[in-house]
Structure 1
Amino acid sequence: LLGEILGGPDRPKFQRGVTNYPTIGDTVDLISNQELRTVYAPSGSDQIDIVTLQQDRSVVAYVDVEEMLSKHFAVLGSTGVGKSTGVSLLLNEILKSRPNLRIFLLDVHNEYGRCFGDRSLVLNPRNLRLPFWLFNFEEIVDVLFGGRPGVPDELDILSEVIPVAKGLYTQYQNGDRPALKRVDQKTVGYTVDTPVPYRLVDLIALIDERMGKLENRSSRILYHKLIARIETVRNDPRYAFMFENANVGGDTMAEVISHLFRLPANGRPMTVMQLAGFPAEVIDSVVSVMCRMAFDFGLWSDGVSPMLFVCEEAHRYASADRSIGFGPTRKAVSRIAKEGRKYGVYLGLVTQRPAELDATIISQCNTLFAMRLANDRDQALLRSAVSDAAANLLSFVPSLGTREVLAFGEGVALPTRLRFKEVPVHQLPRSEASISTVPSATSGHDMHFVGAVLERWRGATSNRDAAANDPSLGERSPVRSPTVEAPMLQPSMGLDPDRFSLLKKPLR
């Protein structure tokens, strides 16, 4: 027994829990259509209409937006069951119900670019500007080392010079030139994670300066390797979204956050971050930065501007196996799951492998939309997440049809087998992995087709100045604030031939 229908001044009302239990011998009746409508009727104004009952399509089951958002939610389902379509429907209805709510969606497969029309800003490597200095120490190390573990000695050098580089930039900005030579790690006042600007040219100059003071020439190769890593990443066109203006400076943090999180919304309260075009080595770091900044902004703004953070393919970034994945990303997602609701940052998880998702994180989602799941481990996790009263519904999970869903938790009146509504064609998710400049298969696999593919292939790792003239990019990055030019120590931008010859001499 899960609830009861009580008489009200205007109409009968359903409530969870039972005040008067039936006794032996009481009559049992099949529930009527009108009683079903009473059970699933909207209990307030903050309800959305996205599903109907599977056994009676005429009965609309409303979802409580406040309960669903404030206590997080998850959409689970195997590939091909209509999961992405359900997410599109859900988010479109949330946008209608909560016009002042901002939504940030991590779009792993570039499916959602057209789903929300002119209400969303679509970001990708071509139009995103995410300055490297917004990355904390773990994140920038992950970028520099290409997702591999960092070399401890090189990390020690970086941890020493990054705070000093931040101090140098602050003094440049304040025009405090006499104090430039007095900057050191102990007095600078910044840590490696403080989100203030610094310039790569200053960072390299500081590394070069420390290298010049070494008496043991064999130790210099370590510094050369670190400088080479920084230069390699900075000059890679795929990382232009991070390192454009890396040597110019400019504190654009306010503009970046305003642009990413739609403050003000300007009619576009939603951001779709398309991840498919980013270098695979930095996707985890980029996701970590986004999650961390979303939580920190909610924390330091006291939650006055609520935001829903939706993580597609969540098992990639918050794996149950601690030995794989990027630790800071898991930590950032976990912070939103555990504490985000206190600061107006809500979490929506979408995954096809819930068993591979960190159990601590998914346990924080109090509304679950479970679509067809064929894997035994995924079904076992679902059984552990729902109450015993709803356990009998789980036998339907392997055989659910397309768009069918089992809904559990605070956002719905009762655990129920439901069916997502039809989605308009223009809101259907579709992959943008193949672009229109490549001929379709129907035109034949001729040399023109191969040439077009090679052009895309090479373009991923070459200069992309042409992207500036691409009319499909939509809203551009915010206007940069005036940058600060300042004198600086000029580092050795490559290996000095004299020093390099010393490295080749045998030690005595």
Structure 2
Amino acid sequence: MTTPIERLSGLVVGVVESVAPDEVRALLELDAPHSTALNTGVPAGFPRLNGYVLIPNEAGATVAYITWIGIERSPYPKRSGLKDFGLIDLPFPLRKMSLSPVGTLTSRRDRASGMTRYELSRGVVAFPSVGDQVLIPTAPQIEAIVGARDDDKRVRIGSSPMASSAAIMVDPDKLFGRHLAVLGNTGSGKSCTVAGLIRWSMEAAEKSLKEAGKTGVPNARFIVLDPNGEYARAFADRGDELRLFRVPPVTGGERPLDVPAWLWSGHEWTAVAHAQPGAQRPLLMQGLRELKAGQTEGVPREAMIRRYLGSYSIRISAMLNTGTQAFGGAAKARFECARLLETIASDCSQFGGETLGTASGALAAISTTITGIVDGRRSGNFFNDFTISDLETIRSALDTLAQTLPDIGHATLISEDAPQFFDVNILAEHLDRVATEQGGNLAGFISTLGLRIRGMLADQRLGAVIGRDPPTSFESWLKDYIGDDGASNGQIAVVDLSLVPSEIVHIVVSVLARLVFESLQRYRRGHPKGQTLPTVLVLEEAHTFVRRGKDDDGPASSPTQLCREVFERIAREGRKFGLGLVLSSQRPSELSPTVLAQCNTFVLHRIVNDADQNLVARLVPDNVGGLLRELPSLPSRQAVLLGWAAPIPVLVEVDELPDAQRPQSADPDFWKVWTLTEERGVDWGAISEEWSGAPPVHDPEE
């Protein structure tokens, strides 16, 4: 039976030779293991790059990972008790290691079980000293280093090949609560990792429910925005737990993708219609407010006249409020004042000629009063000063008459952002009517806006997505896409965007993301205790939708910018409302820096591009940056896990999914098809019919 001291001495493999804040150099013993170590009681590979060693000190033990191994010619080591001191001092090959300290391992005795428990804390409490011993960690210590023994580590995602194949466990609260980025080149295993994280989280939750003796299914919500149509296959075996949305036509078990245009906000309509800020954007907002308020028959004439009178009153008030008396003094100011008053008199005379009841006489009277004032100040082709009392008299008359005309203020009770149903097909005609009623050259300014809206709605590919008939109620839409409780609706929603037209795919993604975020905001506000509804939003090919770009002031001018702004807001504020974001991308250098900076956990697969490598290198502290040098050579399924969900950066071999549970993203089998090992029949007639939406044209003779 060995004593603790004897067991400890059996783990020693070297001594510290030099110490720096970011690097520790160690000299290996002559009899230290060369490839396989048996010191820990079980065979373990040693030494290996990115493997772990311990350096005991007064604070516990400093944990370091191996960054370099080599042989240097040095004087033959002198071993006390042996006849080494009389030997000729010739150069001798000695093995040495460079280590990067990353944390401190402490131990405590568990009174209940009598076992020793190890805990890892990030950072170095006490640096080692020259001559300190370097030890191989035991299996329990390795598990503590990679976090496999932590009580909050509930979901297994893989094992660590550099840590004796210890299980890598993560806390879903940390993994999803502060946003996750899965980055890597095509074919490195990103999609399988994302699908595995969702599946393993659900399986862990189901296991916990069963162990606690609870019935039912996990009350979870995963919403996957899938631009390539990969994930439907990955969760097909989950049955009712999967809600799959696709562009119509759909088959059994699938649901038609429905992102109705009446759910779009004014901001989103501005971006998709490219409404210009001068006349088009205000008119578009007015049209949306009126249609959502149910006002589709145009503005009554009396209400339009009230608008004009209010506008004239405001312009006169602006003259009276100026400190330089723009209506007097200089000849130009007097002339502009006279021109405004003549315009008001002319319009009031025209209005007075219409059938408006008592208002007709009042309008004619105002026109006569203004004409008299202007003629009284006329002097040839010039005008004398207009007095304050003149302008106040006109303004008072305009305000008094406006109060007697009907108002359309009720239309403003509905915001252009309100999710209120309206017939989107009449939007362009309604905008034309509003522009005509307001007169002037407004109809000419908004003609191109109407053409863009009509062209978009005329596209048959869009009709089934943005204008479903009959329309879905807003409550049903929220239950379908965000999910009801787990018992009555599936926990996983996959939105297949592969056939969504490119003209609106960014709008569809931004609308879905915004509605998910705002629904969780309102959920928390509706609970006195501020409870959240934990939801995970997964975005595949994130570099396509959250592309880095210039931050423009004002409303988004394009759907791409709008999409980026929505996800930047989710990245900044989503955690407060229970919304976790999972980004998957093969080009991290093209992602929005704002979104990437808000991700607290990263799973880094193979990354070859220099720009992408430089970007991810800045995500980790300098003393562990060497771990990322392995990124270009990582095989498929292996990745570096770092950030909030991992105590220290660790190399993980992600658990393998069965073929039937993998996303449909495998490399194409060119050779098998070329050599007829796998058949590939083609029916272009069926494809063209579905694509064009029209039956194929056949030869009459056939």
Instruction: Map 1:305-324; keep pairs closer than 5 Å.
Output: 305-322=533-550
Shift of 1:365: 1.0
Partner Cα distance (2:536, 2:566) in 1: 14
* TM-score of the superposed pair, with normalisation by structure 2: 0.58
Task: Quickly say closer, same or farther: Cα 1:215–1:392, change in 2 above 3 A.
Answer: closer
**Alignment partner, residue 140 of structure 1:** 269
**Alignment partner, residue 74 of structure 1:** 181
Task: Quickly say closer, same or farther: Cα 1:294–1:24, change in 2 above 3 A.
Answer: same
Instruction: Map 1:111-150; keep pairs closer than 5 Å.
Output: 111-117=230-236, 118=239, 119-126=241-248, 127-144=256-273
Letter in 1 for 2:485: P
- Maintained 8 Å contact 2:283/2:435: no
- Maintained 8 Å contact 1:133/1:196: yes
- Across the aligned residues of Structure 1 and Structure 2, the Cα RMSD in angstroms comes to 3.3
Shift of 1:21: 4.5
Shift of 1:120: 1.6
Shift of 1:57: 5.9
Partner Cα distance (1:121, 1:338) in 2: 28
Task: Quickly say closer, same or farther: Cα 1:161–1:77, change in 2 above 3 A.
Answer: same
**Alignment partner, residue 412 of structure 1:** 646
Q: Deviations over 1:326-375 (max 9, x none)?
A: 22211111111111111101111111011111112111111111011011
Shift of 1:241: 3.4
**Alignment partner, residue 483 of structure 1:** none
SS at match of 1:66: helix
**Alignment partner, residue 336 of structure 2:** none
Partner Cα distance (1:104, 1:199) in 2: 28
Instruction: Map 1:457-468; keep pairs closer than 5 Å.
Output: 457-459=691-693
Letter in 1 for 2:263: L
Letter in 2 for 1:289: V
SS at match of 1:279: coil
Partner Cα distance (2:640, 2:188) in 1: 13
- Maintained 8 Å contact 1:284/1:326: yes
**Residue in structure 2 matching 1:206, options 430, 437, 440:** 430
> Larger deviation: 329-338 or 32-41?
32-41
Q: Deviations over 1:403-428 (max 9, x none)?
A: 11011112123211111111112211
Shift of 1:94: 1.8
* TM-score of the superposed pair, with normalisation by structure 1: 0.78
SS at match of 1:168: coil
**Residue in structure 2 matching 1:167, options 268, 281, 293:** 293
**Alignment partner, residue 65 of structure 1:** 172
Task: Quickly say closer, same or farther: Cα 1:25–1:223, change in 2 above 3 A.
Answer: closer
> Larger deviation: 84-93 or 38-47?
38-47
SS at match of 2:133: coil
Task: Quickly say closer, same or farther: Cα 1:189–1:349, change in 2 above 3 A.
Answer: same
Shift of 1:242: 4.1
Shift of 1:397: 0.9
**Alignment partner, residue 237 of structure 1:** 460
Instruction: Map 1:278-297; keep pairs closer than 5 Å.
Output: 278-297=500-519
Shift of 1:20: 4.9
Shift of 1:59: 1.6
**Residue in structure 2 matching 1:26, options 117, 132, 155:** 132
Letter in 1 for 2:454: E
**Alignment partner, residue 161 of structure 2:** 54
Partner Cα distance (1:103, 1:255) in 2: 18
Overall identity of the aligned pairs, in %: 26
SS at match of 1:414: coil
SS at match of 1:339: helix
**Alignment partner, residue 478 of structure 2:** 257
Q: Does 1:8 align with 2:113?
A: no
Structure number with the higher strand fraction is 2
Partner Cα distance (2:674, 2:499) in 1: 20
Partner Cα distance (2:175, 2:184) in 1: 18
- Maintained 8 Å contact 1:316/1:325: no
- Maintained 8 Å contact 1:207/1:227: yes
Task: Quickly say closer, same or farther: Cα 1:284–1:243, change in 2 above 3 A.
Answer: closer
- Maintained 8 Å contact 2:233/2:663: yes
Shift of 1:386: 0.7
How many correspondences in the alignment? 443
Task: Quickly say closer, same or farther: Cα 1:433–1:156, change in 2 above 3 A.
Answer: farther
Q: Does 1:425 align with 2:659?
A: yes
**Alignment partner, residue 158 of structure 1:** 284
Task: Quickly say closer, same or farther: Cα 1:245–1:409, change in 2 above 3 A.
Answer: closer
Letter in 2 for 1:455: E
Partner Cα distance (2:476, 2:674) in 1: 40
- Maintained 8 Å contact 1:374/1:398: yes
- Maintained 8 Å contact 1:169/1:197: no
Task: Quickly say closer, same or farther: Cα 1:243–1:101, change in 2 above 3 A.
Answer: closer
Instruction: Map 1:491-506; keep pairs closer than 5 Å.
Output: none
Shift of 1:96: 2.5
Q: Relative contact order (C-alpha < 8 Å, sep 6+): which is higher?
A: 1
- Maintained 8 Å contact 2:223/2:493: yes
Letter in 2 for 1:308: V
**Alignment partner, residue 601 of structure 2:** 367
Instruction: Map 1:177-216; keep pairs closer than 5 Å.
Output: 184=408, 188-200=412-424, 203-213=427-437
Letter in 1 for 2:224: L
Q: Which 5+ residue runs of structure 2 have no aligned equivalent?
A: 1-100, 206-217, 249-255, 298-302, 304-404, 525-530, 552-557, 696-702
